[in-house]
């Protein structure tokens, strides 16, 4: 797949997720083979540029190229300015958020709320594309609700505006994250456009990734929730798409090493106080599929320092290491979820 001057050697992309895809997480996923990782959405409101949150979200120091930054808002001029602001801070691809279903985003007429106003979508896309010399991409949903699916019309507006790639989450805004992704709509959009189409929604295993490619004809896949605590999913999917074979799940020793490295990057990026607290959700995601982890995860939330957190993590994994346990996946008929088995 190619986006502007950038050519990618595989089909996996990290989805932008607020509170998750910070710089440490993006770097980790790229090390496991993700071709591209999109940042947490950056507000287009210039009054918030100086906040600690925005400064962190626009911090790309040391990040593998190309850097993709997602911007969010509803005012064409402000979004154009935001695109320039992010390119000045290292972004080489600008992604526009028209897919977020969160109420606090939609209530400001941003995110997927924009899908209700196709004229405004056209104004925004043209303004942003003309404002920067880097490629601009767009993420959308299939529509506002089941009665108002307009993904094909939005996609054609995007293509004519100069958008270089389009990501489609296969649900409407009203669906949130419930129900199953509607891959048939993504396939219809793919058949109607010439620009690259990236499929998103419910891609949580190598088998499901292959199936989504077959169903949609998409040029690439965007992985979100399934990568939380499981960054090696990019390695697994890339291997399966290339060979048709399945890699063995990681050994507990590898999970331990990956988690320790991730924790150190979180402490360094956020500082110890905030880093310890942000790390809690990541540790929980890494360990939820491991045996006997429930009591460990409860105790984890009581630790206030990096030293205490690391000691608890090391103790938990040392108990598992003697058994040489691997993480085993059990997929149901729709490929969701995983749990550990002995």
Who's near 81: CB < 8 A, 6+ residues apart?
44, 46, 131
Label residues 226-248 b or e (16+ Cβ within 10 Å = b).
bbbbbbbbbbbbbbbbeeeeeee
**Is residue 167 within 8 Å of 189, Cβ to Cβ?**
no
**Is residue 252 within 8 Å of 314, Cβ to Cβ?**
no
The DSSP code sequence of 93-123 is EEEEEE----HHHHTTT-GGGGGG-HHHHHH
Other residues' Cβ atoms within 10 Å of the Cβ of residue 333: 5
Q: Are strands 93-98 and 68-72 parallel, antiparallel or unpaired?
A: parallel
The first and second tokens of residue 229, run together, are: 């605590």
**Is residue 152 within 8 Å of 184, Cβ to Cβ?**
no
- Beta partners for residue 96, in sequence order: 71, 138
Phi-psi category of 176—alpha, beta or left, where left has phi over 0 and alpha has psi -120 to 50? Answer: left
Residue whose token pair is 């059990």: 330
**Is residue 275 within 8 Å of 306, Cβ to Cβ?**
yes
List active site positions: 100
């Amino acid at each position: 797949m190619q986006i502007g001057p950038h050519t990618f050697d595989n089909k996996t992309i990290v989805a932008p997720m607020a509170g998750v895809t910070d710089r440490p997480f993006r770097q980790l996923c790229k090390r496991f083979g993700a071709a591209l990782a999109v940042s947490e959405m950056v507000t287009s409101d210039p009054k918030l540029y100086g906040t600690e949150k925005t400064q962190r979200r626009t911090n790309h120091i040391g990040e593998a190229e190309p850097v993709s930054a997602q911007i969010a808002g509803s005012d064409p001029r402000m979004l154009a300015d935001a695109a320039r602001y992010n390119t000045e801070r290292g972004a080489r691809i600008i992604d526009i958020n028209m897919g977020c279903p969160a109420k606090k985003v939609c209530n400001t007429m941003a995110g997927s709320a924009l899908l209700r106003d196709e004229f405004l979508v056209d104004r925004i896309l043209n303004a942003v594309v003309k404002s920067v010399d880097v490629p601009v991409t767009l993420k959308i949903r299939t529509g506002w609700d089941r009665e108002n699916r307009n993904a094909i019309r939005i996609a054609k507006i995007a293509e004519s505006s100069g958008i270089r790639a389009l990501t489609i989450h296969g649900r409407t805004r009203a669906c949130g994250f419930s129900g199953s992704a509607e891959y048939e709509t993504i396939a219809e959009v793919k058949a109607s456009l010439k620009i690259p189409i990236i499929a998103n929604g419910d891609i949580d295993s190598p088998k499901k990734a292959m199936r989504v490619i077959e169903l949609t004809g998409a040029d690439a896949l965007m992985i979100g929730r399934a990568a939380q605590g499981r960054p090696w999913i990019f390695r697994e999917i890339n291997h399966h798409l290339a060979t048709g074979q399945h890699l063995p799940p990681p050994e507990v020793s590898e999970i331990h090493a990956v988690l320790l490295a991730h924790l150190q990057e979180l402490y360094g990026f956020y500082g110890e106080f905030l880093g310890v607290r942000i790390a809690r959700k990541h540790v929980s995601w890494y360990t939820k599929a491991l045996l006997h982890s429930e009591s460990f995860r409860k105790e984890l939330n009581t630790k206030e320092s990096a030293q205490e957190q690391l000691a608890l993590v090391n103790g938990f994994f040392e108990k598992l290491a003697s058994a040489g346990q691997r993480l085993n996946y059990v997929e149901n008929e729709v490929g969701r979820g995983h749990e550990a088995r002995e």
